[in-house]
Structure formats: structure tokens, C-alpha cells
Structure 1
């Protein structure tokens, strides 16, 4: 086995360096020396700056110093010395504040291209050079008093996914710093129709967490050309541990992006909103030119048996989270964001590429900082990763990862239609055959006793606790819900589209999973039918804030659903056994109707025997209930959880066509 490993490793490094032997011949990547101390590549003080690089296969390593973050020649080249455990070190005993640096590594007689390292925490414009600064000077006023908003448990979470530019770039948003971090610090902003926008809009809606699409330094936007139209979601990592410069007001000054990111987080916290960061550790933007590959070639990526790079991400590479230093890298990176930037949660892109042990290590490390930091991700990969499936953080293995959640594509597809067929609708437009997918989502992907009947064709359960499932209808990826409804119900009137929209979100917010909203869905935003808008212009991606006045009815309905869920713990029981005890599906003879009762008053709820009917038929749907008087809070596309909508007495409840009925005793 060792001979085979050595052969494959030699083949791989030969392909990289055009030679027949591996640099500093290690038998396998597992034999590389490692270290346990904090991974700090640059440590600044006024009297000197220490540099450290983990490069176990290097023959020589230099640090190059610059006065400019992007252009000009090095003003000094400082050799580094081997310091054991694969690391190299040197110190420069002068005040280097304001300077920039790169590392250059020599392997098998060849100098690789320069890199800011893998752990750069401040960079110049476009992220090509690391920046030397005192991080303490980047803290905005009041930062030391910043605290995470209170959170009793994961079941209280309501997530709003947002792209910085989409949310605030509209010229009629009333926001000054459009498309920037600072947009989320402005209060009192309104649209020309007088509707609240920006952070006030989020407070009005009532969400608890903002999920920011990638905000680390990514490669696809040229920060020197921000006067030209550019757009990207940011799933193309370059420097994982410093904020993206294009969302700052000055990408040339390293302190600015850091300070403004912190100002944004603090403003959201002061508004009672926690901040989740989208992280993309599963692949890098490029491979041979990446910081990983310019530092320790081959190590940070998985390889195929022939020595080529594996590609489970469909982006040209997949990282090797199971290797000791890649795992250490991921753990330290998320902890750095949690500590330095006060981030409250992490969404892992293509989480199914990472191994279970690494996700468990991340959960454990974050628990020591704050156990209320939420972790979730995509429980799949773009294609099969080069690692055993039973050891990966795939959705099917979620139950094995306590404190880690995943998106439920079963619930999403059951509500609005399959990912694989854009033209195919599902439950909310009245297409039969999806009731059990909706029931599955209502129970948060748990093996609910009533769904174990094999004749129901229920999806396979994959959660151990309800907070491990994300309940949603759309996200940045694929069609937003309004576009999907327009495609699958092309003859629907605006009134019917609004009814479908309300019904879909009623299912999401009465699910025992964690609800998740895509930015703009609350005002029926569309993307003109574009499915994959990762680099589409603002005309496709930007939130049109005029839509809030046009679709105020949909906004108020969703706002009411959120208020109802937050006020009544029966809708988020947060415990598997409580769900089994209290949540009961009611027998329905018709297709396209899902009805359930939350029996009693669990978790001290002031409502008792809550009954929900989701009716996607074009005709009324009735169910038999125990004789009594029921208070109506949602009916005929209207919701009022505080004052109610009247009452009904008897032993039968009827939901109007294409709508939900919610009552309690």
C-alpha cells in the first residue's frame, strides 16, 4: 500500500514540477509534518513583524515587502528559515505598518509564483498581496461592546439570505452606500413610495438572521474597475480570511474593508439581527494559481487515482478536508470570523464535499466560542467527491452530525417543483402527488410515526432533531419562487400567483424545520426567469424596491407568518420527541390537501390544539375536528395572529381554494 501511495504521489508531483521525484520525498500527504499552534502567518507590532509559513515541501522560502498593494517591485526580500514541523519563520525588526508582503516558495529548484499565503487576514486591492496592519485599529467605535442578539435555541431562527449588491443597489432604494457593507448600517431609508428599505425593512419583516452570500475576498470582481459593471455571487474564493474589497468604499486601503464589515455586523446586531456568513471551503477559484497550490502543491486538494485533481465541486478542484492541515485551516478560519468579526453562523457551500469529522471539529470549536452559532450547508456535491460517501457530510448523514443542519430539497421540490424539471410544478399549484413531500417537510425530515407507511412513498428521513432541516422554497441558486410559479403556472393571474406564494410560505413557516427566505421573496421579487444569475447584471439581480408597494399584500402576509411563528412555540417545538408527541396529521381523502394538528399547548403556548390546513385545490377542502369553538388566525389569504379573524363553532373546518386555514382553541 505504501509503495502504491508513493507511486501516485510521485506521479502527481512529477506532473506539477516536471521531475521524477517528490520534493522532500514524503511517502504520502499524511506524512507531512504539522503543527498545533495558531496558524498566524503575519504578526505585527511597532517594533517588528513576525512571518510564518507552513511549507513542508519547500527548499527555500522568501518574504517580499512592498509599498503598494498591487504594483511596483519589492523593496526588500527577506529569507525565511526552517523552524520545524514544516514551518518557516523570519522577523523584520522595524515598523512595517502600511507595507504589503508576499511569500515565494522554491521547490525542486523552481521558484513558484508569489502568494499572500493561505491565512492572510488583510490584503491590498484584488487580494494579491498581504497587508501589514494592527487589527485593533480596524475596530469601529463601540466594537468592544458589540454583543450577539439573544437566541434561546436554534428553533427560534428565521433566516434571510442576501447578496450585498442585490439588496441595496436599486437607485430608488433610498440608500446612500448602495451595494456596500455600509448599506446595512443606514436607518430611516425608504423607497420613493415611502416603504421601508434596508435594515429597517429587515426589522419590519421580523427575521432573526441575515445570511450573507460570500463576503470573503473573492477573485471574479476586479476591485480596480468598480466604475464598470461587474457582478458575481462570490463562490470563487481567493483569500478566505479577509472581507471582499468591492463591497467596501475603498478597496485600496486594507483597513477600510475590515472596519466597514465590522460596522455592518454591529449595526445588524443593534437591530436585533444575527449575521451568518456563506463559506466556500470546498473549492478555490483556480487551482495551479491558487494560494494553496503556490504554498504546498497538491496537499490541500484531493486527487484522482491518476494524479489529476478531483472535481466534486464542478469548479476544477475539491479540497481535502480530511487532511490534518486542511481541517485545521477550516476550523481556525471559521473561529477567526466568529471571534474577530462576531459572525453568528456559517452556511457551507457544497458541504457534502467535506468529511464528517471536519464538520464535527468545526461544531466543537464554535461551541467553545458560543454554542448558539448556527451551522448549516448544502448536503450534496456537484458530482461524486474523491472520498468515501459514508464519511462525507452529505444530507443523508446529517443525523450523525449533531448541531449541523442541511437544506431540504425534498420539501422545496414538493412545494414548487423538481430541480431537474423547470416546467414541472408541484403542490402549491395543485399538481397531485406531492402531499407526502410536504408532510415530510412539516416534520423537519424526521421519521415521524405517521409517515412510516411504505405506501406513502415518503422521502427517507435524514435528521435527528428538527433544527437540522432548513425549510425553504427558493434561494440564490435556481429560480426564485416567483419566477418558478410564473413558469409552472403560465396562465395564472396576479391574484392566483399571490395565492400560490402565500400557500408556499405558509408551509415553510408552519414547518418544524428552520425557515429560510431568499431576499426579495417577501415582495415577490423575480429575476426575469433567469435560473443561474451568478454573473447576471443588476437588471436581473437587483431588488426593485418599488415592488414592496406593489406586493404589500404578500409582504404583510409573510410578516404575519413570522410574527405568528415567533410568538407561538408550538410551530417550532425544537425537539424530536415533542414533535412525535404533539404533531398529528389529519386524515384527508383528497389529494393536494395537507392538514395537521399540534395537540395540546406544548412548550407553554397560549394557543391550544392548533390546526393547519394547506389546500392547493381549486375548490374548498374540509376536515372533521372535535366539536368546539376555534379562533381563526389565517383564512382566505389573510393572517392576523394578534387579533384574529373571528371564530368558528362546530365539528368541521373548511379551507378556501388555494389557501391555508390556521385555527386554535
Structure 2
């Protein structure tokens, strides 16, 4: 094996002279520059990124236009010490590249990025598709080794999304009960165990889902998240809305989080088991924010670029968790599209639920729709089209009021939810149609017409497939608790 550095001449990278001439307030100047349209125009890159593996060679390619240099740290094994560092060559439009000749499947690596102020940052690959436990190192993976037996083509396309009956579940909660009768409690594999019963003799696992008669299962986030120790998964609890590695399955749901390929294989086996039962899979994706920006690979590789800012330079917080991603920037949009298509192609997913979709821009959602149509036009796109306080013009937000400009993208219809049972806010005391609130019949009927004659200030729907009708989801009160609080008798 040997290493080949790509030393193509690079004329479009920020020069050392630029850094020397602008050393005062360098961080502020660079941050303003990377957020400008000029930066996107000059450095946006539309090629493949990450570890591009074949048995003959692996190309590592990173987009880091503001870096002076980048080294690849290669480790002796998945969990042993550093073995060697290799300087990456400078490619076009802000990329850095290293070609490694030979079979590097299973090799752990990270990047060491040197910035103009002399600061050196170590990070995983933002385009990691496999990692060690807790996402601490990227791993080069041969995807063929992660496919289950009988892993074949996608399911046949569904006739219409309006026929979808969606059941939402959390992988851990679905099977974790001591009385679930499931062997692989809290794991991907536990979801599709068959012939299992509760202590009361009720069906559990896959048999329960089949008994429900649903067409789709929508899983709360299954991609790698930050706040559960994958090696001690029962010590913490989280739904998964704190993204870490967007393209890697969550290790706490695997039977062996130490081995990178196991979580990938077992997630695919879960999807295959559901497909064999005629049940399709929707993945809840959380591209609108990260857990801690300063510790995330996106911010480490190109500081200041991937997150949206207010006019005063502070991070936007429309998500309510301290940061909003900037989907309107070319490379953030590309990142989301690349990630979605990776999951759709490699895991045969049938739909995506976009958390806080109103943080994203319309063009990004439409580009995702186009990319998914090339894979399977029946893949469902649905999301929370709430109008959130982020630094994006209202006309560009992917919200209900702009639904007419996002064909093929559905929105949760919170108006029907509140009409039926009342608002969950203000302690949940508000009532709705089913709890005796007067004069609600007309509003309920309007919400059941699939967008026809609907007030545009609530949602500008053009077809029934753009409305997700529901009365309960994982957020806010359960239907039972809501009714118990608000019932007037």
C-alpha cells in the first residue's frame, strides 16, 4: 500500500497574502466572508465528498476552503493510537484530497485542519458514513459488507401518498419494557422480532405493527445523536433530536456499537423486516440544527459557514436550541441533499419527515424533491412547516403558507389537531370539537377538504397530498392526557 497526494495546482484558494494583509479581527472578517454570496460563487463544489472507497484505492476528499492545510490522521486500528499523518493535496474550489492505494476498508481516520491563525482542529469527516463508538472517529467502509442477505431492490412505488396510514415510534421505547417479550430490547432488531407477546398475551414487535394495519412506520431520529453513550445506552435517554453524524445510524440501537458495520447492517435488517411485512419506513431527519455547533464537524471544517446568523452576528435560534443551519447556502443545501439521497439509495427508505422544516428554505426542499423523484417518486416528504423566527425572508421559508410553491412536500396540519382536541399550549386546558367547544363543526369540515377553500394565511395547499392529518404526535400532550386535562366533566 502507498499514499498518493493529489498536488494539482490550485489557483482559487484563499492566499497566504490575504491572511497576512487581513490579520486584524481575522475571525470576524473570515466569518463575514464565508457567509457572503461571493464565497458561495467562488468556492461551491458539486462533486463527491468523504471517503470514496474501492478495494483498489480510497479517495478522501474534504471541502475546507478557509484551511491553510489539512492532514489525514490514520489510526493503527479502530480504537488504538495514531499510526501516521498524511498531508492532503489541494484540489479545486476549496477541496483537499488524498488518494490511498490499496484496500483501506475498516480503517479509522480523522482530519487535522490548520487555519490561518495557526489553530489546529481535529475532527471527524462531516461526510462520515461509518464511525467508531460514540462517533469519535470516521471509518472507511465497504458498503457491500453491510447488506443483509436477500437485500435486493426497493419496494414497488405506492399508488398515492394520500393512502398512507403512518404510525410514529421511538426505537428504544417500542421494545424496552421488561414485559415486551422482545429479546433485543431497545434495538433495531427488536422492532422486527416476530411471535412475541406481552405479559398480558398481547402481540408485540412486528406482529403488533402488522395488527395495526398501518402502511408506514415513522421512526424518531435513527441517525447518530450526541447525548446517549452508545456503550452504556440505558444510563441516558433521548429521542435523538441532537444530531452528531448525519449519515451514520445511531449506535445505541445496535447490538454491538464497537463495530462500525453492525449498526448499518442491523438498521438495514430492520427495514428489510418491515418491508417483508408490507410496511414502509419513514425516517425522521433533523438537518435544522446540531447539538453543539462548536463541537460539530461542519463548524470545525468551515467555521462560520454552515449556520445562519442574525444581523448582529449572533447565531439564529428559530429552532429554540441555540442554532439554525443555513440551508440557503450552497454547501449546506448540497450536504442535506447528499445525505437524503444516501439514506434513500442505500437503506431503501420510503419517506422522510423533516423536523422543524420551516427553518429550511423553499429551494432546498424542492431540490430534495427533485433528487428523490429520480430514485422513486413515491418517496414521501413531510415536515413541520411552522413559521419560525430565523433570519430568512418569509417568502423563502418552507412553511405552510408557501406550500403551493413546494409540490410534493406535505405539511403537518396543526389546525385540524387543534380543532379536534384544542390547543396543547397554556396548560392544555383549551377544548376542541370532541370536548364540546361550540361552533367548531365548520372549521373541522374545512380542514377535512384536502386544502380546498382553505384560508391561505393558515396554509396554501394545492392538493390533498400536501396535508398530513393528525391529532397526536410525539410532541406536546398525548391525546389521553390532553382529553383528561381539558374535559369539562
Match of 2:372 in 1: 366
Match of 2:244 in 1: 238
Which structure 2 residues correspond to residues 321-340 of structure 1 after superposition, within 5 A?
321-340=327-346
Q: How many residues align?
A: 466
**SS at 2:408 equivalent:** coil
1:101 pairs, out of 105, 109, 113, with 109
Match of 1:79 in 2: 87
Structure showing greater Rg: 1
Which structure 2 residues correspond to residues 582-593 of structure 1 after superposition, within 5 A?
none
Matched, 1:201 2:199: no
**SS at 1:160 equivalent:** strand
Residues 418/407 of structure 1: CA separation in 2 closer, same or farther (3 Å cut) = same
Matched, 1:44 2:41: no
**SS at 1:113 equivalent:** strand
| 1:334-359 per-position Cα deviation (integer Å, ceiling 9, x unaligned) | 11100000011000011001110110
CA positional deviation for 1:462:
2.1
Matched, 1:386 2:386: no
Matched, 1:220 2:210: no
More strand by share: 1
Residues 442/24 of structure 1: CA separation in 2 closer, same or farther (3 Å cut) = closer
Matched, 1:481 2:486: no
**SS at 1:375 equivalent:** strand
Deviates further, 308-317 or 132-141:
308-317
Match of 1:318 in 2: 324
Matched, 1:355 2:361: yes
CA positional deviation for 1:19:
4.8
1:169 pairs, out of 176, 193, 197, with 176
Whether the 8 Å CA contact 1:60–1:106 is kept in 2: the answer is yes
| 1:624-650 per-position Cα deviation (integer Å, ceiling 9, x unaligned) | xxxxxxxxxxxxxxxxxxxxxxxxxxx
**SS at 1:217 equivalent:** coil
Structure-1 separation of matches of 2:363 and 2:98? 34
Structure-2 separation of matches of 1:414 and 1:200? 33
Using the size of structure 1 for normalisation, the TM-score is: 0.67
2:145 pairs, out of 137, 154, 164, with 137
Matched, 1:61 2:70: yes
Residues 34/52 of structure 1: CA separation in 2 closer, same or farther (3 Å cut) = same
Residues 136/111 of structure 1: CA separation in 2 closer, same or farther (3 Å cut) = farther
Residues 42/24 of structure 1: CA separation in 2 closer, same or farther (3 Å cut) = farther
Match of 2:167 in 1: 160
Matched, 1:404 2:414: no
Structure-2 separation of matches of 1:389 and 1:459? 12
1:282 pairs, out of 288, 295, 316, with 288
Whether the 8 Å CA contact 1:437–1:459 is kept in 2: the answer is no
Residues 193/479 of structure 1: CA separation in 2 closer, same or farther (3 Å cut) = same
CA positional deviation for 1:191:
1.4
Structure-1 separation of matches of 2:23 and 2:166? 47
**Cα RMSD, aligned residues only:** 2.2
**SS at 2:381 equivalent:** strand
CA positional deviation for 1:306:
1.9
Structure-2 separation of matches of 1:277 and 1:222? 22
CA positional deviation for 1:32:
4.1
**SS at 2:43 equivalent:** coil
Deviates further, 21-30 or 283-292:
21-30
**SS at 1:265 equivalent:** helix
| 1:513-564 per-position Cα deviation (integer Å, ceiling 9, x unaligned) | xxxxxxxxxxxxxxxxxxxxxxxxxxxxxxxxxxxxxxxxxxxxxxxxxxxx
| 1:437-464 per-position Cα deviation (integer Å, ceiling 9, x unaligned) | 311221133316xxx8xxxxx9744210
Which structure 2 residues correspond to residues 547-562 of structure 1 after superposition, within 5 A?
none
Structure-2 separation of matches of 1:24 and 1:386? 15
Whether the 8 Å CA contact 2:180–2:199 is kept in 1: the answer is yes
Whether the 8 Å CA contact 1:14–1:20 is kept in 2: the answer is no
Structure-2 separation of matches of 1:318 and 1:437? 34
Structure-2 separation of matches of 1:416 and 1:434? 10
Residues 19/280 of structure 1: CA separation in 2 closer, same or farther (3 Å cut) = closer
**SS at 2:174 equivalent:** helix
Whether the 8 Å CA contact 1:175–1:186 is kept in 2: the answer is yes
Match of 1:345 in 2: 351
CA positional deviation for 1:165:
1.0
Which structure 2 residues correspond to residues 444-463 of structure 1 after superposition, within 5 A?
444-447=450-453, 460-463=458-461
**SS at 1:310 equivalent:** coil
1:470 pairs, out of 459, 468, 471, with 468
CA positional deviation for 1:66:
1.6
CA positional deviation for 1:311:
1.5
Structure-1 separation of matches of 2:255 and 2:434? 43
Structure-1 separation of matches of 2:32 and 2:311? 22
**SS at 1:268 equivalent:** helix
CA positional deviation for 1:87:
0.7
Structure-2 separation of matches of 1:23 and 1:147? 43
**SS at 2:294 equivalent:** coil
| 1:235-275 per-position Cα deviation (integer Å, ceiling 9, x unaligned) | 11111111000001011100000000000000000000110
Match of 1:553 in 2: none
Structure-1 separation of matches of 2:114 and 2:246? 24
Structure-2 separation of matches of 1:380 and 1:143? 37
Structure-1 separation of matches of 2:376 and 2:419? 35
**SS at 1:278 equivalent:** strand
Structure-1 separation of matches of 2:27 and 2:335? 29
Residues 305/183 of structure 1: CA separation in 2 closer, same or farther (3 Å cut) = same
- Structure 2, unmatched stretches of 5+, are 1-18
CA positional deviation for 1:149:
5.0
2:127 pairs, out of 114, 119, 123, with 119
Whether the 8 Å CA contact 2:316–2:391 is kept in 1: the answer is yes
